[in-house]
Amino acid sequence: MANDPRSLKTASKKVSHLGSAKSGVGEARAMHLTSVALVPLTIAFVWILVTLIHKDFTAVRAELGQPFPAIVMLLFVGAGIYHMKLGMQAIIDDYVHEHHLKDWALMANIFFSVAIGLACIYALLKVSFA
């Protein structure tokens, strides 16, 4: 019926909702956005951690409680967690084909990412404000 030459449907209407074009474009764009953000953030993150080496508990608390390092760390964790969630999702989509296993894996990916992200953010806020 889709190939009926008398059909008045446009080419676009004939194929809409039939393909795999679902949320993929938005995810690809989010991946690019977080990638670009993570270039300076990763360098800053590594730099902050290097300055913390050999410092004791009180000193590290004081350093990471400062606004600049804390905000950089929060941005890094935020962008990083979202980036890695999308990345692992792509890996699962590529390699896990069994229906139920795939659903569980995608769910576990979200649980892991959210848990790690919230744990890091909570810890950073506590270091800053406690």
Q: What is the contact surface with another protein in residues (CB under 8 A)?
A: 32, 35-36, 38-39, 42, 46, 50-51, 53-54, 57, 60-61, 64, 77, 80-81, 84, 87-88, 91, 116, 119-120, 122-124, 126-127, 130
Smallest gap, in angstroms, from Cβ of residue 49 to another protein? 9
Angle 23-84-54 (CA atoms, 0-180°, nearest 5)? 160
Smallest gap, in angstroms, from Cβ of residue 9 to another protein? 33
Q: Which is nearer to another protein, 11 or 50 (CB)?
A: 50
Q: Cβ(113)–Cβ(84) under 8 Å?
A: yes
Q: Cβ(76)–Cβ(47) under 8 Å?
A: no
**Length in residues, the chain:** 130
Smallest gap, in angstroms, from Cβ of residue 33 to another protein? 11
Q: Which is nearer to another protein, 2 or 50 (CB)?
A: 50
Exposure of 59 by Cβ count < 10 A (0-12 exposed, 13-18 middle, 19+ buried)?
exposed
Q: Which is nearer to another protein, 7 or 35 (CB)?
A: 35
Q: Which is nearer to another protein, 9 or 32 (CB)?
A: 32
**CA dihedral of 62, 50, 87, 112, whole degrees rounded to 10:** -40
